[in-house]
Amino acid sequence: MVLLVTIAFIAIVTLASIAMTIVQFRKITPLAFRCTKCGNEFRQAPHRDYPRACPRCHARDWAV
């Protein structure tokens, strides 16, 4: 009986921590970039790689 309660407690704590991680990950503010060539402002999720070029004009100069 004690073993089942322990396993249930560990499962509940694990599921709760996974759920809280997902909620916090969704609240991260996206990174904003502004192209210095065309003035286009674009946003990108923070977990993605740093952008190589502007999506509109493909210039490699932008302000963070």
Specify the DSSP element, H or E, that contains 26: helix 2-26
CA distance 59 to 25: 30
pTM for the whole structure: 0.47
Distances (CA, A) of 29 to 25, 26, 45, 46, 57: 9, 8, 8, 7, 25
Q: Are 59 and 38 in contact (CB under 8 A)?
A: yes
Q: Which helix (H) or strand (E) holds 21?
A: helix 2-26
For 7-64, the pLDDT digits (tens) are: 999 999 999 999 998 888 777 777 888 888 888 888 887 777 878 888 888 888 766 5
